């Protein structure tokens, strides 16, 4: 199962991801958080197990790392994003992806900030299409956006 939790800054995304895992196992020490600066498509399959839950917190920081590398970083990011989407479909166990929703406010003034928002939006749409569950955090409350079988 792959799950995407979106929300603004301090909306309760990370707390919700950990609450889900605590409910699943009743053993809070069993969850594992993955923070990978660049190569998530390699790291997730290496860490994933049928009886584990992986929490990737935060995809927007991962995207930011790539974009700050300039044009070469962007080209590498596009390739890595495709690899990540393919890898997610094959992972055993439960994977929870946490990301900041950045496209519900003012359009940023700088070109890099606009590129970041555009790419985050594309990443989130691609992930939502393949995830079993998508939720949006608002004021600490999880709002179900999609459950398996929804379009």
Residue owning tokens 């749409």: 125
Domain ranges of the chain: 2-147
Beta strand 133-138 pairing with 141-147: antiparallel
For residues 74 and 67, what is the distance between their CA atoms, to the nearest angstrom?
6
Residue 58 pLDDT: 86
Q: What is the pLDDT of residues 78-127, one digit of tens each?
A: 999 999 999 999 999 999 999 998 877 778 889 999 999 999 999 999 99
Residue 27 banded pLDDT, cuts 50, 70, 90: very low
For residues 148 and 125, what is the distance between their CA atoms, to the nearest angstrom?
15
Alpha helices, DSSP H only, in 8-137?
Answer: 13-25, 40-47, 59-67, 70-88, 111-130
Residue 40 pLDDT: 94
Tell me the CATH class for 2-147. alpha beta
Query: Catalytic pick from 23, 52, 94, 124?
Result: 23
Residue 145 pLDDT: 93
Residue owning tokens 């979106």: 6
Active site residue 23: yes
CA 16 to chain centre: 13
Residue 141 banded pLDDT, cuts 50, 70, 90: confident
């Amino acid at each position: 199962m792959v799950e995407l939790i979106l929300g603004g800054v301090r909306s309760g995304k990370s707390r919700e991801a950990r609450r889900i895992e605590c409910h699943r196992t009743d053993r809070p020490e069993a969850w594992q958080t993955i923070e990978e600066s660049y190569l998530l498509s390699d790291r997730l399959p290496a860490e994933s197990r049928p009886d584990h839950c992986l929490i990737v917190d935060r995809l927007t920081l991962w995207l930011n790392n790539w974009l700050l590398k300039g044009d070469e970083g962007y080209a590498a990011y596009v390739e890595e994003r495709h690899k990540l989407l393919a890898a997610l479909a094959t992972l055993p166990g439960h994977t929870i992806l946490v990301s900041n929703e950045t496209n519900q406010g003012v359009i940023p003034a700088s070109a890099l900030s606009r590129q970041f928002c555009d790419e985050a939006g594309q990443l989130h749409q691609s992930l939502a299409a393949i995830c079993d569950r998508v939720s949006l955090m608002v004021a600490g409350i999880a709002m179900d956006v999609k459950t398996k079988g929804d379009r």
